[in-house]
Amino acid sequence: MSYFLLDEFENIEPYNPGEQPDDREYLKLNANESSFPPSPKVLEAIDKAHINGMSHYSDPYCWKLRKAIGDHFGVSAEEVFVGNGADEVLSFCLMSFFRPGMKICFPDITYDFYRIYAKAYRLDYEQIPLRDDFTLDIEPYIESDRDVIIANPNNPTGLAIPVSEIERLVASNKNRMVIIDEAYVDFGNESVLPLVKKYSNLVVVYTFSKSRNMPGARIGFAISSKAIIEDMNKIKFAFNPFNLSSLTIEGGCAAVNDEVYFEYCVNSVIKEREEFEKKLSEIGYEVIPTTTNFVFFKAFRTPAGELTAKLKKKGILVRHYDDERVCDYIRMTVGTHDEMERVLVALLEIE
Ligand code: PMP
């Protein structure tokens, strides 16, 4: 007997999240998370909210969080969509804008979820190779008539393209939908957000999982024109109206309002990243210069797969890819100073 769902969704391919061990013994640097806790104000807000929050359904419009995000970014709540992580936001983007067979494109190599969602929604997708040095050439996207998803900066390479390049793409065909995933934008990059007012075919996606230290809370959001956000909310109401819990809504508001803590965490990560990149280069690793909360570097003596396994034996989890273009590389989250010192000691012992 075959299950209807499995037949129907033969295109479905589960995302590989990397190792997510329960065992907190590991120094977990394999998923671009955060070594900082959320703002203390988040914990206070969740604590206050939990009694009423748990005994009633959450606000399906998530107005309070949309307003807090809107006020912070200088847009109205009607221009903000919130989801259970950027992953769900991306999923609702694809569900809202595309029908099976529609054409989209995104880089090869990039965040694997774009391909997995595109397959699941049966889109006709094309992956446009990065250049050999992992930089992104915008021309093939401009020349294509396809809708586009680009992570800027990209994951796992950590490289970003200038906003002016993205504007050329968005302006080149105003009938084309352009989704820019700015999950890592806060660690030293320019955002395309100001372009949202100018172009109604642009959607910018963000997450609280990186610069706001809350991957476990699952909060992501998109900013776009009111019409696009309204469409996304219609789709959300058809599939999962109460997609954010009351606790997450309150915690999210507190996080977005605590600018001082946000600046402190982001600046600490940037400082540590710069120091760590320098030390990796001194050991002899070729490091791709990045503006994210992770580093991407080429193994040179011990092959990357072996290095990953050896680091794991020393209690450190990092990400290694099977894809032949990046199989010599390691992606590693930037943690605290002490954590990165521990990594350097481990690398020197292994090499
Ligand atoms: N976009 C990119 C480029 C990512 O790397 C990730 C997660 N690593 C996400 C989106 C998903 O973020 P979230 O945790 O908010 O679902």
Report whether residue 183 contacts ligand 1, using a CB cutoff of 6 Å: yes
Q: pLDDT for 251-260, tens place per residue?
A: 999 999 999 9
Gap from CA of 183 to ligand 1 centroid (Å): 6
With 90 as the cut, is the pLDDT of residue 83 above it?
Answer: yes
Distance from C-alpha of 103 to C-alpha of 98, rounded to nearest angstrom: 8
Gap from CA of 245 to ligand 1 centroid (Å): 19
pLDDT (average), residues 227-241: 96
Name 125's Cβ contacts closer than 8 Å, sequence gap at least 6. Answer: 103, 104, 105, 106, 114, 115, 118, 119
Task: Report the pLDDT value the prediction gives residue 53, as an integer from 0 to 100.
Answer: 73
Which ligand 1 atom sits nearest the alpha carbon of residue 207?
15
* Token code pair at residue 327: 């199989």
Gap from CA of 208 to ligand 1 centroid (Å): 9
Helix/strand/coil percentages in the chain, nearest 5: 45, 15, 40
With 70 as the cut, is the pLDDT of residue 2 above it?
Answer: no
Which ligand 1 atom sits nearest the alpha carbon of residue 90?
10
With 60 as the cut, is the pLDDT of residue 64 above it?
Answer: yes
Closest C-alpha to 146, from 166, 162, 169, 165: 169
Nearest CA to ligand 1 atom 10: 86
With 60 as the cut, is the pLDDT of residue 332 above it?
Answer: yes
The amino acid at 125: Y
Gap from CA of 3 to ligand 1 centroid (Å): 31
With 70 as the cut, is the pLDDT of residue 7 above it?
Answer: no
Name 5's Cβ contacts closer than 8 Å, sequence gap at least 6. Answer: none
Gap from CA of 207 to ligand 1 centroid (Å): 7
Name 340's Cβ contacts closer than 8 Å, sequence gap at least 6. Answer: 272, 275, 276, 279, 334
Ligand 1: which of 93, 181, 205 to mutate, most ligand atoms within 8 Å of CB? 181
Report whether residue 147 contacts ligand 1, using a CB cutoff of 6 Å: no
Which ligand 1 atom sits nearest the alpha carbon of residue 87?
16
Report whether residue 333 contacts ligand 1, using a CB cutoff of 6 Å: no
Task: Report the pLDDT value the prediction gives residue 1, as an integer from 0 to 100.
Answer: 44
How many other CB atoms are found less than 10 A from the CB of residue 143?
A: 10
Gap from CA of 296 to ligand 1 centroid (Å): 16
With 90 as the cut, is the pLDDT of residue 286 above it?
Answer: yes
Percent of the chain whose predicted confidence (pLDDT) is above 90: 88
Q: Average per-residue pLDDT in the chain?
A: 94
pLDDT (average), residues 172-178: 96
Q: Complex ipTM, two decimals?
A: 0.99
Report whether residue 155 contacts ligand 1, using a CB cutoff of 6 Å: yes
Q: pLDDT for 23-50, tens place per residue?
A: 678 999 999 999 999 999 999 999 988 7
Task: Report the pLDDT value the prediction gives residue 24, as an integer from 0 to 100.
Answer: 72
Report whether residue 181 contacts ligand 1, using a CB cutoff of 6 Å: yes
Gap from CA of 286 to ligand 1 centroid (Å): 25
With 90 as the cut, is the pLDDT of residue 10 above it?
Answer: no
Rounded to 10 degrees, what is the CA torsion of 340, 344, 347, 351?
160
How many other CB atoms are found less than 10 A from the CB of residue 346?
A: 18
Task: Report the pLDDT value the prediction gives residue 151, as an integer from 0 to 100.
Answer: 98
